[in-house]
Amino acid sequence: MPQKVRIALDAMGGDVGASVVIPGAAISLNRHPDTEFLLYGNGALIEAQLAAHPAMKAVSRVIHTDVAVGMDDKPSQALRRGRKTSSMWLAIDAVKKGEADVAVSAGNTGALMAMARFNLRTLPGIDRPAIAAVWPTLRGDSVVLDLGATIGGDAHHLAALAIMGSAMARVLFDLERPTVGLLNIGVEEVKGGEEIREAAELLRSLNLPQLDFIGFVEGDGIGRGAADVIVTEGFSGNIALKAAEGTARQIAEYLRSAMSRTLLSRIGYLFARGAFNALRGKMDPRKSNGGVFLGLNGIVVKSHGGTDAEGFAYAVDVGYDMVRYDLLTKINQTLNRHGHTLAPASAVQEALS
- Alpha-helical (H) ranges within the chain are 18-31, 43-51, 54-58, 75-82, 87-96, 109-120, 155-173, 194-206, 219-224, 234-259, 263-271, 273-283, 309-324, 327-342, 345-352
Number of residues that bind its own copies (CB under 8 A): 60
Output 1 or 264, the one with its CB closest to its own copies: 264
H or E element, residue 296:
none
Taking CB under 8 A as the criterion, the residue among 1, 54, 271, 345 binding its own copies is: 271
Q: Which of 36, 47, 141, 218 contacts its own copies by CB under 8 A?
A: 218
Interaction of residue 187 with its own copies, rule CB under 8 A: no
Burial (Cβ within 10 Å: 0-12, 13-18, ≥19) of residue 96? middle
Q: Is 306 near its own copies (CB under 8 A)? A: no
How many other β-carbons are positioned within 10 Å of the β-carbon of residue 274? 8
Question: What span, in angstroms and rounded, lies between the C-alpha atoms of 234 and 145?
Answer: 7
Give CA–CA dist 260/267, Å, rounded: 9
In this chain, which stretch among 159-167, 276-284, 291-299, 330-338 interacts with its own copies, using CB under 8 A? 276-284
Q: With binding defined as CB under 8 A, does residue 270 bind its own copies? A: yes
Give the number of other CB atoms < 10 A from CB of residue 16: 16
Query: Does residue 224 touch its own copies according to CB under 8 A?
Result: yes
Does 165 bind its own copies (CB under 8 A)? Our answer is no
Contacts of 85 by beta carbon, 8 Å cutoff, 6+ apart:
65, 67
Q: Which of 269, 284, 286, 325 binds its own copies (CB under 8 A)?
A: 269
Residue 141 contacts its own copies per CB under 8 A: no
Q: Is 140 in the site for its own copies (CB under 8 A)?
A: no
User: Binding of its own copies at residue 158 (CB under 8 A)?
Assistant: no
240 lines the binding site for its own copies (CB under 8 A): yes
In the complex, which residues of this chain contact its own copies (CB under 8 A)?
74, 137-138, 148, 151-152, 183, 185, 188, 190, 192-193, 218-224, 232, 234-236, 238-251, 253-255, 258-259, 261-262, 264-265, 267-276, 278-279, 282-283
